[in-house]
Structure 1
Amino acid sequence: MSSGKDKVSMIVFSGTEDKLIPVGVISQAAAALGYEVNIFFTGWAMFKLLKNPTPPIWPKEFEQFAPRLQEGMARIKAPTWLDMLREAKGMGAKVYVCSMMSAAAGLKREDFDPELVDDVVGVTTFLEMAKGGQVLFI
């Protein structure tokens, strides 16, 4: 178990499923290990946190593999990336949305799922939260 001093932060830009699955896996694992977990959704990824999120999207080069992967995930009873993120939040992970990108898209705090999003913040605020830990860009 972690000493509580370990920290992992993610900047999530991509809104495609192939990138969001690792966000779920990493956030859940890090939270389970006792890490401080901060996740900053920006760009296309923030649309996945809306009260009415965009549908799943796979990159064109992976579309042919998507059905096999989805069937395999169901077969092994793997949770969705969103369920893993919810589990991580239950263990203390924090999720933020980029204030600049949300404003550019005409979105406000109340447009996002309140069970998923802790706050809408600027990048400087997020970087201060991430300071001293590992930062992943996904």
Structure 2
Amino acid sequence: MSEEILEASAIIQQLRVNRPNPNYRPLIFVAAPFTEVVKHDRKVLAKVRAYCRHVHEVGGIPICPQLYFPQFVNLHHYHDLQVMNFLCLVLLTKCEEVWSFGEPTRDMKFFIKKAFTKDIPVRYFNGEMEAW
């Protein structure tokens, strides 16, 4: 197992402390470059999927609304986009942590800022999924 997986696994183990179920999997909000995902940039989509897979592999439950909502929400309509932003914030508040991968974009910074206002811890990882 690589170092970054061990490190992320250790983070997940910390989140499991004092949980009655030893198989507990914390919800982790994956901060993704929203605009690029919505534009269907294949390289960015592949990276974001890999980040979610990484969260899953180390024992968390990845929550990445940027991958999910565009499947059925028309993001070209202002009202739908505003509703989706609200739904993203609702999901964010249900998560134990926010994990930001790579250099945070403007979109990612929005969710990171919201996490700080809600006292949700934020962890930063580089593009190779190593913690900063």
Q: Which has more helix, going by share of residues?
A: 2
Instruction: Using structure 2 for the length normalisation, give the TM-score.
Output: 0.39
